[in-house]
Amino acid sequence: MRILHVLDHSIPLHSGYTFRTRSILQQQRALGWETCHITSSKQGAAGPAKESVDGLEFYRTAPSTGMLARLPVFSQLAVIDTLAARLLEVARQVRPDILHAHSPALNAVAALRVGKKLGIPVVYEIRAFWEDAAVDHGTASEWGMRYRFTRAMETYALKRVDAATTICEGLRGEIITRGIPAQKLTVIPNAVNIEDFSIGGQRDAALAASLGMDGKVVLGFIGSFYAYEGLDVLLQAVPAMLAANPDIRVLLVGGGPQDAALKAQAEALGISGQVVFTGRVPHSEVQRYYDLIDVLVYPRLKMRLTDLVTPLKPLEAMAQGRLLAASDVGGHKELIIDGETGVLFRAGDPQALAQKVLALLAEPQRWAALRASGRNYVETERNWRASVARYKPVYAALSQRG
């Protein structure tokens, strides 16, 4: 079976691609499926029309040109037009059995055009609703014109594709409310490559000393500093935690839109000496910072985006046998059983965060069981081999229909 994946601009031109996409493509290849891949004009600079990345073939779509490409809303329609034209050309060449479009809906609409023309079934994979992410990033207002337009396009695509997949039960429930039959939907959950993670990494003493973490209890977050991550709530909780345990330190690794605001907040709270901002670090160095952290904290705020979408970071933490504390948003509750694979606290509540983290630190007798349960969960349920295998019946049904 040959699958042609239709991908978006989140895939860099020359330097790999998003973690979930990479894992899916690698596992599909391991399962014996032929895969090829096309990216839209949102990719950026045109580059070569075709290239190989990690042994996988990528066809590139040249950037949209003309007046429409420079106008709001119409620029998105131009993306669909250029992708559909390039996809038609590639599909005629590689003759796929299935077109597998990945969100956003721009890719799905282009795939639907080509699928209808060539008689190829279309699968659409939804990882998040982009209108909700746009609200958090400040590029759209909830239920504003752009929000409604994007939502309508997503629903249009979902109603017309032959099958749809999504990453979690929260998104599945939302999709069903839009009038999409439940039998049309399959959950292909986020997972980890378990062989990429090991338990028992040793703290780098030199790095700890350089960051002022030597002999300290370290709470940490590694990732992008978006508003919905709720890192401001973590900082609000720090004074109360320091009052109970002066040896607590907070390590924030990464960067993003909230970077300056978080540093200003730490200054205003008088905790700049206890909170370390490392900035972004090379991927090859990330493990050294993980190994400094005693408890990983994920204080996501409660909103549509975080209630509907499951993140990857807690799964990576569990794969390493880490202790973790997370807010009780819907996306976290799908992954973490409070008191079994981690601890949950009330979202948006610094006092609740402080109480749960301090209680966890005060009970070291619980740590081994928490770490073992988390690792077992990803080994048995959230590994990419098991997750990607769920595509088998989806693809098989569409292939038989054809």
Residues above pLDDT 90, as percent of the chain: 70
* pLDDT (0 to 100) of residue 45: 64
- What mean pLDDT is reported for the chain? 90
Q: Listing from the earlier edge strand, what are the strands of the sheet with 248-255?
A: 275-279, 248-255, 217-224, 295-298, 323-327, 343-345
Rounded average pLDDT over 169-194: 94
In this predicted structure, the answer to whether residue 46 has a pLDDT above a threshold of 70 is no
pLDDT at 77: 82
How far lies 178's CA from each of 132, 174, 175, 383, in Å?
A: 15, 7, 5, 30
Largest CA distance in the chain: 67
With 60 as the cut, is the pLDDT of residue 16 above it? no
The pLDDT assigned to 198 comes to 81
Statement: residue 238 has pLDDT above 90: yes
- Which pLDDT band holds residue 5 (cuts at 50, 70, 90)? very high
For residues 177-203, average pLDDT: 90
Give the pTM: 0.84
Tell me the pLDDT band of 133, cut-offs 50, 70 and 90.
low
CA angle 277, 350, 359 (to 5 degrees): 95
Domains and CATH numbers, the chain: 2-191+383-400 (3.40.50.2000), 194-382 (3.40.50.2000)
> Residue 68 has what pLDDT?
66
Mean pLDDT score, 91-107: 95
Q: Please write the tens of the pLDDT for every residue from 363-402.
A: 999 999 999 999 999 999 899 988 999 999 999 999 876 5
For residue 12, pLDDT over 80 is answered with no
Average pLDDT over residues 97-107: 94
Q: Are 211 and 241 in contact (CB under 8 A)?
A: no
The least confident of 69-73, 156-160, 367-371 is 69-73
Q: Helices 350-361 and 231-244 meet at what angle, rounded to 10? A: 50
